[in-house]
Chain A
């Protein structure tokens, strides 16, 4: 009888824990291929120099010319509204409050708004934004079939996608990072994982990266990240490692008990997806991104979203006009 009671207690507590942990794991399959990353860095240098030659005063004059040249942008200005695809379930990047609903909030959303601000400025029209949900699998389709004019949705720039759509940016470089207990200062990077117990998801690129880059670490693998978080909370693993974007989401959900090491060891550039043939729109978005990098608006957007969980604000990446 006594046993009976304690089982109920355990069951009840576990149910509570489940409810508490339930909402946080969106395992986004955004994985950059390594060759993409390399290519990105190479190209950037040339183009950045070109830009300097063109002059720093990228004023609304140039913007207006680009709008005229771009089919998509002129249509947006004419209609006075733009439809932008973003994630609705990615904490701190693009997330609609699961209980309250409403507009999505996050870093992707802020960046999109800033770009549209530049568009309003350059065209002299007040352009309103409609956000629609674009989960990973449908992002290319949404752009090619015209459902959205632009996508800002933790969208990794890679070669396969460049065949279908064009990327402006990157505006953020994500990467695999490490999450530890809030009071743990012994791990500051991937090299400190030797001899530690590290958790990630079965069959993920993250766990393969760990096997390669932290061969001395003892790996623990589950089917979902929330179980890794549970083990970390109970002190059964020393660290959890995967894309920082997923980690900040877990930290955001968990409150103060975890922290991000904030020293990524792989690179995954996030870009703004625009229609493939619209070179002028891509140039416009790239110009807008460079402007917000310069003006500090980018850093403000970062600090208001991802920065609430990650400690340091990184330098903005260099735009890649491939």
Chain B
């Protein structure tokens, strides 16, 4: 049971740190993708297509075992957070970009004509509206992140799934143990779902 709680704690911190990183990356990449500078747009698109289309397990492997060959090495836990953030960031970027596309172009044009810079247009006019409209898709991405954190076990971060595996081997009772793990994931994801629903209603723009 202690092991289980330990695992849950690790899963939660992976998720929270990962989300902070992913959100930051997502904002930057989404801005790149709608920016007026073509190389930035290409960079944003390349990033999204490369990362989003690569299985997370493979990214973990490349980051942990591959990067040291190029002379770059991070400690274990930060590595897992970085990979989760990089991967989830691509999905966050796409969700935010779809939100940006819902904001009528007339608004950006109006803001431009008032003399606002691109950064100001994006940060003060477009993004606040865009983010409100994509709470639900971002919520999906967040819940996926909770579950994706289990892949950190492949680089020996013993989170919830990892602890379940150890317990299953030790007790030779895999089914009860993994049922317990499934319930633990539900305990994490269901309240997240409710919180997202509440937030969505809270920030929705009533038109």
Q: Are B69 and A17 in contact (CB under 8 A)?
A: yes
Q: Are B70 and A1 in contact (CB under 8 A)?
A: no
Q: Which of B42, B43, B66, B156 contacts A220 (CB 8 A)?
A: B156
Neighbouring B residues of A263 by C-beta, 8 Å: none
CB contacts between A and B, total, < 8 Å: 55
Is B39 located at the chain interface by the 8 A CB criterion? yes
CA distance A6 to B165 in the complex (A): 35
CB distance from A36 to the nearest CB of B (A): 21
Interface string of A222-254 (1 = CB under 8 A from B): 110001001000101000000000000000000
CB distance from A301 to the nearest CB of B (A): 37
Is A255 located at the chain interface by the 8 A CB criterion? no
Q: Are B65 and A14 in contact (CB under 8 A)?
A: yes
Q: Are A234 and B43 in contact (CB under 8 A)?
A: no
Q: Are B46 and A1 in contact (CB under 8 A)?
A: yes
Is B186 located at the chain interface by the 8 A CB criterion? no
Within residues 22 to 54 of chain A, which ones have a CB less than 8 A from any CB in chain B?
none
Neighbouring B residues of A222 by C-beta, 8 Å: 154, 156
Q: Are A13 and B165 in contact (CB under 8 A)?
A: no
Is A9 located at the chain interface by the 8 A CB criterion? yes
Also in contact, A13 and B66, with CB within 8 A (given A1-B39, A3-B46): yes
Q: Are A230 and B65 in contact (CB under 8 A)?
A: yes
Is A4 located at the chain interface by the 8 A CB criterion? yes
Question: Nearest chain-A residue to B67 (Cβ)?
Answer: A10
Within residues 24 to 62 of chain B, which ones have a CB less than 8 A from any CB in chain A?
39, 42-43, 46-47, 50, 61-62
Q: Are B156 and A9 in contact (CB under 8 A)?
A: no
Q: Which of A1, A2, A199, A203 contacts B165 (CB 8 A)?
A: A203
Neighbouring A residues of B66 by C-beta, 8 Å: 10-11, 13-14, 17
Is B68 located at the chain interface by the 8 A CB criterion? yes
Q: Are A10 and B39 in contact (CB under 8 A)?
A: no
Is A221 located at the chain interface by the 8 A CB criterion? yes
Within residues 190 to 220 of chain A, which ones have a CB less than 8 A from any CB in chain B?
199, 202-203, 208, 220
Q: Are B169 and A4 in contact (CB under 8 A)?
A: no
How many residues of chain A get a CB closer than 8 Å to chain B's CBs? 25
CA distance A9 to B71 in the complex (A): 12
Give the secondary structure class of A's interface.
helix
Q: Are B70 and A236 in contact (CB under 8 A)?
A: no
Is A322 located at the chain interface by the 8 A CB criterion? no
Also in contact, A202 and B46, with CB within 8 A (given A14-B65, A17-B65, A230-B65): no
Q: Which of A3, A13, A227, A236 contacts B69 (CB 8 A)?
A: A13
CA distance A199 to B42 in the complex (A): 42
CA distance A17 to B65 in the complex (A): 9
Residue of A13, A222, A230 with most chain B CB atoms under a 10 A cut-off: A13
Neighbouring A residues of B73 by C-beta, 8 Å: 234, 236
CB distance from B163 to the nearest CB of A (A): 11
Question: Nearest chain-A residue to B165 (Cβ)?
Answer: A202
CB distance from B33 to the nearest CB of A (A): 14
Interface string of B155-167 (1 = CB under 8 A from A): 0101000000110
CB distance from B133 to the nearest CB of A (A): 29
Also in contact, A227 and B65, with CB within 8 A (given A221-B156, A221-B158, A222-B156): yes
Also in contact, A10 and B62, with CB within 8 A (given A4-B50, A222-B156, A234-B73): yes
CB distance from A83 to the nearest CB of B (A): 38
Closest 9 CB pairs of A and B: A14-B66, A13-B69, A203-B169, A234-B68, A220-B156, A10-B66, A4-B46, A230-B65, A14-B62
A-B contact pairs, 10 of them (CB 8 A): A1-B39, A2-B43, A6-B70, A13-B69, A199-B156, A202-B166, A221-B166, A223-B154, A230-B65, A236-B76
Given contact pairs A3-B50, A227-B65, A236-B73, enumerate 17 new A-B contacts (beta carbons under 8 Å).
A1-B46, A4-B46, A4-B50, A6-B70, A10-B62, A10-B66, A11-B66, A13-B66, A17-B66, A199-B156, A202-B166, A203-B165, A220-B156, A221-B158, A221-B166, A234-B68, A234-B73
